[in-house]
Chain A
Amino acid sequence: MKKDDQSEKTLSRRNFLKTTGGVAATAAAMVGGLNLLPAKAEAAGYALPKKWDDTYDVVVIGSGFAGLAAAIEAKNAGASVLVIDKMVLHGGNSIINGGDFCAPGTKLQQENGVQDSAELMLKDMLRAGAYLNHPDLAKMVAYNAKGALEWTESYIGAKYAKLNFHGGHSVKRAHGTINSSGSELVNKELAKAKEIGVKIQLRTKLVKFLSNKDGRIVGIEVRKDYKFPDDNSGKPAFIKAKKAVVLSSGGFSRDIKLRQIHDPRLTDRFESTNQPGATGEALLAACIAGAMDVQMDWIQLGPWTSPDEKGFGYVPLFCERLVGYGPMINPKTGKRFFKETGNRKERADAIILIGDPVIIMGDSYAVNKQIFPMALQKGVEAGAIKKFDTLEAVAKEYNIPVDVFLKEIERWNSYVEKKKDDDFDCMIFKDAQPTVVGPFYAARLWPKVHHTMGGLNINTDAQVIGFDFKPVKGLYAAGEVTGGVHGAVRLGGVAMADCIVFGRVAGTNAAKEKPWG
């Protein structure tokens, strides 16, 4: 493609290269082939295309919860909107997600007699996040989650059937979609977006942000008809964003190269629960265009995944419904080893410390009450969840010293009776009962890479902040591609709240930008 003016550079890019070190510089250097080594950057600069292939007011990158929420709000604010996604299917991680949406003080909570408040949710988020959360961002999510949930119900038409608990929360506040999948929400978002006239274009990969000489983002370079994961597939095209670009490209759990830069332990020995396209090139492209990244090394491992199935699988739906009803056991000792209702990081670290898979188990009372029948059936069929007539059979299967194990179950049962765990302070639910009724069910647990808490630095208006601490003009971001909301640990069910809250803010504000040309 011919460029208009080879000498046109972005200020932010120059500033960026002069002022940054560490993480982002590494990121820039990693993007091979761009030839943007600091010494050469001045000469390379950014040039605008002579001809734009397409023009929209707002261009959204990523068709998950966050991107579609942004697209809908931008469209409803009067902007023309294009959503691109590099994959052959829409939905990203959102469409494989477990469908749990955390919000405080809702109708469903009231119906279930749960007392909750935004204040308490924020407290839980900050405690789990080791107080590394950017407080203003976390607060935005906690205080707007209820409104966001209601928007998905009343405007998008998503349905929630059940109130669930996730480790690290003080109360049950996860609103489970009727099909226990994020598809319930993201598919309805997509339908709404299409209905109101948002253009959706799949197989279109963001390659580069284009800025003018003031560092304002003015459009993007993409590869159209891209076939994941072939970087040479598709054809280059330039899309002009008259008002703004919203980046909602999700996390980078599947980006082994990038995640190892930030957490060298996370080699390819660790599987991921994410969709294959959960990689970081769009995030890095934003850094190259001047965006600042934050807390990139806080990468979450799910403590509830099984080594006996691929990807996310069925075991997390089994494990997370059972904590607070049944015990987690270290097969080597036959004993419990950690607070079952602890947060993800604590639990994953505890399992990794043991060094081998542990088990989660429940009796028929707990399992029939708590587990979505389809998940149980599929998990059993896949061989990842096993069924046993007796506790002795459980011990035999996992090579657990049987005497210690039986005593430990008795001990657990006594805690369940009095609703207080003297050993690990596990939260034991009111309706929990001792683990005595056969058949028993159990599954092995070994962590997988699940969520990247870090990402682009944004403010409460969802503007992306640059290395000069000022907003990168024309660039908004929302969802898992951003960092700061969750700090060290994202609690279960809070990603959906984060995506919808900030997706809407990003879309609304993007549509308000003054067109640059």
Chain B
Amino acid sequence: MKNKKIKKPLLTVLLAVLLFAVLSGGIYAAPKEKKASVTKAKTVDVKAWDCAGCHKDKKVLPDSHVPIKEMPYEACLVCHIPGEKNAGTLRTKIPGSHLHALKGVKCAQCHGKVKKPAPVEMSKCVACHGETAKLAEKTAKVKPQNPHESPHYGTSADCNLCHHQHAKSENLCAQCHKFDYIVP
């Protein structure tokens, strides 16, 4: 079965492109210990499946992982679906930027064609993902509280406050509340 070949957990499909991760001090700067050893140069041209293209010799996938050379995103999803016995969704496993890259979104599509990429405005997120008010409607039933609408910020909180692209995402609400969201 074709499926079998890639069935082994793709667990930490740490994909190649830790794009701009070392934007020191930038809005997306990853906490120090989180930074995989990535060289700044040329990450832009590295293919999404080419981990070593950025991470060099550092092992980012588990030994048991199937080879991912030339693997398109759709193929990842064969194993990486939620539920027992599956490899679990890739969201939360790898940084958002890697997911973007896997889906074929190029650095420049968010950061623009610039030498020194800067933090991305929320309007960029919304341009593809839709208005946050709409998103909040979709998540209205999430318990214990709609994560996309609050009495403090309405639906206007910046996506990147929680959904980081070049660092591990975080649950900002948990600073003050007992809301145990899993944040992609």
Contacts and interface: CB of A to CB of B under 8 A. Distances in A.
Contacts of B161: 88-89
B29 A91 contact: no
Most buried by A among B25, B29, B153, B178: B25
A89 B178 contact: no
Contact of A310 (B145, B154, B178): B178
B64 interface: no
Contacts of A51: none
A88 B157 CA distance: 10
B25 A234 contact: yes
Interface in B118-174: 144-145, 151-154, 157, 161, 172
Given A89-B161, A310-B177, A311-B176, A183 B153 contact: yes
B25 A224 contact: yes
B104 interface: no
A381 B179 CA distance: 12
A181 B157 contact: no
B26 interface: yes
B78 interface: no
A382 B178 contact: yes
A247 B114 CA distance: 37
What does DSSP make chain B's interface, helix, strand, loop or mixed? loop
B152 A96 contact: yes
B152 A181 contact: yes
Contacts of B144: 378, 381-382
What does DSSP make chain A's interface, helix, strand, loop or mixed? loop
B125 to A, nearest CB: 16
B176 A225 contact: no
A275 B176 CA distance: 7
Nearest to A311: B176
B27 interface: yes
B152 A95 contact: yes
B3 interface: no
Contacts of B176: 96, 275-276, 310-312
B133 to A, nearest CB: 15
Contacts of A275: 175-176
Interface in A148-191: 179-181, 183, 187
B25 A179 contact: no
Interface residues of B, number: 18
Interface string A369-401: 000000000100110000000000000000000
B132 to A, nearest CB: 15
Contacts of B157: 89
A470 interface: no
A89 B162 CA distance: 12
Interface string A270-298: 00000110000000000000000000000
A309 B178 contact: yes
A276 B175 contact: yes
A320 to B, nearest CB: 17
A187 B157 CA distance: 12
A165 to B, nearest CB: 22
A514 interface: no
A235 interface: yes
Contact of B153 (A89, A224, A235, A378): A89
A306 to B, nearest CB: 12
A91 B152 contact: yes
A254 to B, nearest CB: 11
B20 to A, nearest CB: 14
Contacts of A89: 152-153, 157, 161, 172
A225 B172 contact: no
A179 B153 contact: no
B177 A225 contact: no
A187 B152 CA distance: 8
A311 B175 CA distance: 9
Contacts of A382: 144, 178
Given A88-B161, A95-B152, A96-B152, A235 B25 contact: yes
Contacts of A309: 178
B174 to A, nearest CB: 9
Interface in A177-230: 179-181, 183, 187, 203, 224-225, 227, 230
A485 to B, nearest CB: 25
A187 B39 CA distance: 41
A225 B151 contact: no
Contacts of B175: 275-276
Contacts of B26: 225
Interface string B28-43: 0101000000000000
A185 to B, nearest CB: 12
Nearest to A230: B31
Contact of A181 (B27, B151, B172): B151
A179 B151 contact: yes
Nearest to B176: A311
B33 to A, nearest CB: 12
Interface string A417-430: 00000000000000
A95 B151 CA distance: 9
A79 to B, nearest CB: 27
Interface string A485-515: 0000000000000000000000000000000
A362 B161 CA distance: 39
Nearest to A184: B151
Nearest to A273: B176
Interface in A234-267: 234-235
Interface of A: 88-89, 91, 95-96, 179-181, 183, 187, 203, 224-225, 227, 230, 233-235, 275-276, 309-312, 378, 381-382
List 4 tightest A-B contacts by C-beta distance, closest first. Answer: A225-B25, A311-B176, A181-B151, A310-B178
28 contacts: A88-B172, A89-B152, A89-B157, A89-B161, A89-B172, A91-B152, A95-B152, A96-B176, A183-B153, A183-B154, A225-B25, A225-B26, A225-B29, A227-B31, A230-B31, A233-B25, A234-B25, A235-B25, A275-B175, A276-B175, A310-B177, A310-B178, A311-B176, A312-B176, A378-B144, A381-B144, A382-B144, A382-B178
Interface of B: 25-27, 29, 31, 144-145, 151-154, 157, 161, 172, 175-178
Given A187-B154, A310-B176, 17 more contacts: A88-B161, A89-B152, A89-B153, A91-B152, A95-B152, A95-B153, A96-B176, A180-B151, A183-B151, A224-B25, A225-B27, A225-B29, A230-B31, A234-B25, A275-B176, A378-B144, A382-B178
